[in-house]
Structure 1
Amino acid sequence: MAEVPYSGEAVLFTETYGSHLSHEYSFTQEGKLSCRSEKEPAKHQTLKAFFTSVFLPQGYPDSVSSDYLTYQIWDTIQAFASSITGTLATQGTLRGVGVGDNTATVVGATVTWILKDGTGMLGRILFAWMKGTKLDCDAKKWRLFADVLNDVAIFMEIVAPAFPLCFTLIVCIAGVFKSIVGVAGGATRAALTMHQAQRDNMADVSAKDGSQETLVNLAGLLVSLLLIPLVTDSIRLTYILFILFTSLHLFANYRAVRGIVMETLNQSRLRIVLNHYLKEGKILTPAAANAKEPVFPECQKHVSIRLGVSVNELMSSLNDFEKTLKNNTKDYLLGVSRSEGLVTIVLHVTATSEDLIQACFQAELLNTLLYQDVSGFAVETDTLKELHEKCKEDKDNKLWDVVADTHILVDKMFPKFWRGLSLAGWVTDRNHLDADEWRLNQNPEDKKSQ
């Protein structure tokens, strides 16, 4: 509808377009509809609106998560740097298969390329089989891992021509690495898109992300056209550019994953939130916990948690089964192996997201008792000190008595912790705690009566 000068008549109704545009409507004395914008759009604003509609999801910024812009800026920078280093790698690969070499044969180049692609396909299948379920739970770690591995693969392709006898082997290994990058990068991108799409608009967010990446790759190609003539006969300059753009690529990726604020709990975020709760008596917000979440492998020792395992991984006798039931009225069975640093949890078929979080809450309490100093804690200090000493004195590898005592402690602590999660802004009706699919079909009433 074309805008007309506002005539001063009383405003009858208004409308908004997201949070950045509004109209006021009234009727003139002649009975015509009059529309006035809250602010007259300038030419640069019109151009901005055009690029916003092309490259950002509809309804931006209200239709996406608050961390969307920060992540996309750094993701754009890393994509540009990766595009440049990818061009350098392509040049190295082409030189290695014989482009520009009169002694090279088409058959040899074709075989090398087929082997490279074939090993990459096998690598893609194997990696998806081995690590596919982990990608959702630690999307930030795997996202950064994928980009580091991509840089390793690119470096191998650049240096491969310097080792003609091992060229095929090197590019095949690089192909496997790049296939892993494709799986890990694509899967984590889907997980992050789901997080960013606040209005169930995953398709729109994904499509606009593709448009942004295409534009960046186009810019990278244009820059590459300028750089290729300079580096064709200079290996040293190729290495210098690779180091510079790889450094930019890794830094931008680190900042990108650091800017993500996931509102669901995984093992790392739950451990951070619980440790802060025990020390300060307060629940961290998602933003504060995500800022502390490690994106590199940790050196600190802690128990491994296996959630949703088969019963035979938890117990091997009737005696073990009876011990799992002591003080336990929950929809899961839990055991610990001190020698292996492992907590195993069997879930009942009726277990909900709350039960899964509670089970991992108890597992993290056991981790605290085994590996941390509890003297400075502000919550249940005396009880935790007592259990910490009991862990030291108990010679039983499975610590059944300690597990039974933690059942009582969890019954006391968890309800308040659970309410605090929702108040702090955490999404608790779903989680990323990496639960396997085994479920126990034992009647909970029978379990409680034993």
Structure 2
Amino acid sequence: MLSVGGRLHGGAPPWRRPRPCSCLASPPASSSSSGGGHGEGDPEKARPVLSERYRDGAAKRYLLDGDSKLQVHWEKHDSSMNSAEDENVKSSIPRAIRDFVLPAGFPESVSDDYLQYMLLQFPTNVTGWICYTLVTSSLLKAVGVGSFTGTSAAASAAAIRWVSKDGIGAFGRILIGGRFGTLFDDDPKKWRMYADFIGSAGSIFDLTTPLYPGYFLPLASLGNLAKAVGRGFRDPSNRVIQNHFSKSGNLGEIAAKEEVWEVGAQLLGLSIGVLVLDTPGIQSSYSTLTLTWLGVRLLHLWFRYQSLIVLKFRTVNLKRARILVRSHVAHHTVPGYVACNEGENILTWERFLRPQISFGVPMERILGGEDSTNMVNRLVKLYKNEKYILYVEQLGSNEPAFLVTFKEAATSMSVLRSLWQAHWLHEHQLKRNDDVFDWLEESLTALGDEFDDFIDQMEGAGWDQSQIFLKVPKEPVLVLEHLDQEAEETNFGV
């Protein structure tokens, strides 16, 4: 009988059997390479097969001991792996803060003057908001809350409540900018649409304040929080869209002209809104006001969706890459950017797309099973000419999922190649046989034979290879260790 590495233990192929719990449970991160691990062989005699590096500098190493059993060891950060220059730049900023407030890849990913500019912008904005707080108190006094000649306690208290509402809402923008800043370049159409959905939810809290005036501050704060989160999605997405419009380095002019359009719409909308509020039925009926708002809001969302689906991006993100490879695998054609954008569903989340592909998967998940020693060797050999490793995981249904981990020096083209292979496997499921490795080998042969034609057709359809923006997961990074010739003959042989 053949095992996962070539011999089957039972009648069902490995991609149809339920995935067992991994026998590679890792030791605690605090253990060193010489202290923990699995298997009964001598750790000092263990031979490294591959390792995974993580952003904090830790590494997970996979080793074969003297009994040819696979062990997993965590290794602590080795500061010598980082250049002295990088350490000098980053050492003064704690990692958690750096990841939250600075762009990914800083300082290499930005210009030299970025940090100095942002450090001066911060106090500039602080003083601006101090002025806003003081002016708010004056405005409230002007409309009758307190008085300059009498007591100003009421106006100050109202101003504090009003500013607190804005401050609580501002946390939403901090969260989005710090935690999700890498999302917008990939799919600005989706996040611009979701920004309006979230903003609509925030307006619902505002509408409920007349029903519960005693809870004005918490309701208004929740409304501002939701609208601030929406704004956190909206503004970066708008900037990406503006950059898409700019074909001759005129981004500033495009932004300025968009302000003209926006302010014109604002003036017209405010005028119509005032006329609607003057309507007697709306003034006297809260339910009529709510229904009017709901109708106008739904119309607003429909117009937003229509405006976004007309955008025709030439960049290749994950959704558009799926459309391109699916067309080539199934029909040996590649659509142009207009047809591709028209076929893109801007509201769909990646997790709901088929086939299901998981990027940046640790090797432990791929290797989970009994014959992992033989399996890891076969995978390393099978993908020796690729900068990634792809394996098939059987889900509860008959449709498999695809797990991908990336090696050092993987690029956007590596992600595109793994996408093509996954779609080929999904398209040719009827050809799969008892040995999943034979099926994978057949897909890699097809990849080698047809991927160049796919790239040629992309260029012929007007796609630019420099516009392929498929992000390689930051972690884990798979590093293959040196294997001697005897080990290759022993472990790679079938």
**For this structure pair, what is the TM-score category when the shorter chain's length is used for normalisation?**
0.5 to 0.7
| Aligned residue among 248, 271, 296 for 2:299 | 248
Shift of 1:144: 0.8
Match of 2:391 in 1: 335
Q: Is 1:386 the equivalent of 2:435?
A: no
What is the aligned counterpart of 1:350 among 376, 395, 409?
409
| Alignment match, 1:138 | 187
Contact 2:309 2:342 (8 Å CA) reproduced:
yes
Alpha carbons 1:331, 1:444 under 8 Å: kept: no
Matching of residue 264 in structure 1 with residue 315 in structure 2? yes
Aligned: 1:157 with 2:194: no
Partner secondary structure for residue 360 of structure 1: helix
Alignment of 1:53-72 (within 5 A): none
| Corresponding letter in the other structure for 2:202 | A
Q: How does 1:6-155 map to 2 (within 5 A)?
A: 106=155, 109-155=158-204
Q: SS where residue 414 of structure 2 aligns?
A: helix
Q: What does residue 83 of structure 2 align with?
A: none
Give the aligned partner of residue 107 of structure 2.
none
- The aligned counterpart of 2:338 is 287
Quick one: higher RCO (CA 8 Å, sep 6+), 1 or 2? 2
Residue type of the alignment partner of 2:225: V
Q: TM-score, normalised by structure 1?
A: 0.63
- Following superposition, the deviation at residue 254 of structure 1 comes to 0.9
Match of 1:361 among 414, 420, 428: 420
Q: CA deviation at 1:227?
A: 3.3
**Residue of structure 2 equivalent to 1:69:** none
Change (3 A) 1:446 1:176: farther
Change (3 A) 1:423 1:245: same
Would you say the 8 A contact 1:303–1:342 is kept in 2?
yes
* 1:407-426 map, 5 Å: 407-426=444-463
- Three-state SS of the structure 1 residue aligned to 2:404 is strand
**Distance change in 2, residues 1:277/1:224 (3 Å):** same
What is the deviation of 1:106? Answer: 4.4
Give, in angstroms, the shift of residue 140 of structure 1: 1.3
Work out the CA distance in 1 between the residues paired with 2:482 and 2:277: 69
SS of structure 2 residue aligned to 1:136: coil
Report the equivalent of 1:235.
286
Separation of aligned partners in 1, 2:336 and 2:222: 42
Q: Output the TM-score relative to the length of structure 2.
A: 0.58
The answer to whether the Cα contact below 8 Å between 2:363 and 2:405 also exists between their aligned partners in 1 is yes
Please report how far the alpha carbon of residue 352 of structure 1 lies from its aligned counterpart in structure 2 after TM superposition.
Answer: 3.6
Residues 180, 225 of structure 1: CA spacing in aligned structure 2 closer, same or farther, 3 A cutoff?
same
CA distance, structure 1, for counterparts of residue 301 and residue 238 of structure 2: 17
Cα separation, partners in 2 of 1:303 and 1:240, compared to 1, 3 Å: same
Does residue 174 in structure 1 map to residue 226 in structure 2?
no
Unaligned 5+ segments in structure 1 are: 1-93, 375-383
Tell me if structure 1 keeps the 8 A contact 2:329–2:420. no
**Structure 1 residues 115, 365: CA separation in 2 closer, same or farther (over 3 Å shift)?**
farther
Contact residue 273 and residue 283 of structure 1 kept, 8 A:
yes
In structure 2, the residue matched to 1:427 is 464
RMSD: 3.6
Please say if residues 120 and 176 of structure 1, whose CA atoms lie closer than 8 Å, have aligned partners that are also in contact. Answer: yes
The offset of 1:111, in angstroms, is 4.7
Is 1:322 equivalent to 2:322 in the alignment? no
CA contact 1:133–1:434 (8 Å) conserved in 2: no
Q: CA deviation at 1:146?
A: 0.7
Residue equivalent to 1:3: none
- Relative distance call for 1:300 and 1:310 in structure 2 (3 A) is closer
Q: Offset of 1:445 from its aligned partner?
A: 12
CA distance in 1, matches of 2:404, 2:330: 26
SS in 2 for 1:326: helix
Q: Residues of 2 paired with 1:181 and 1:165: CA distance?
A: 26
Question: Residue 345 of structure 2: SS of its match in structure 1?
Answer: coil
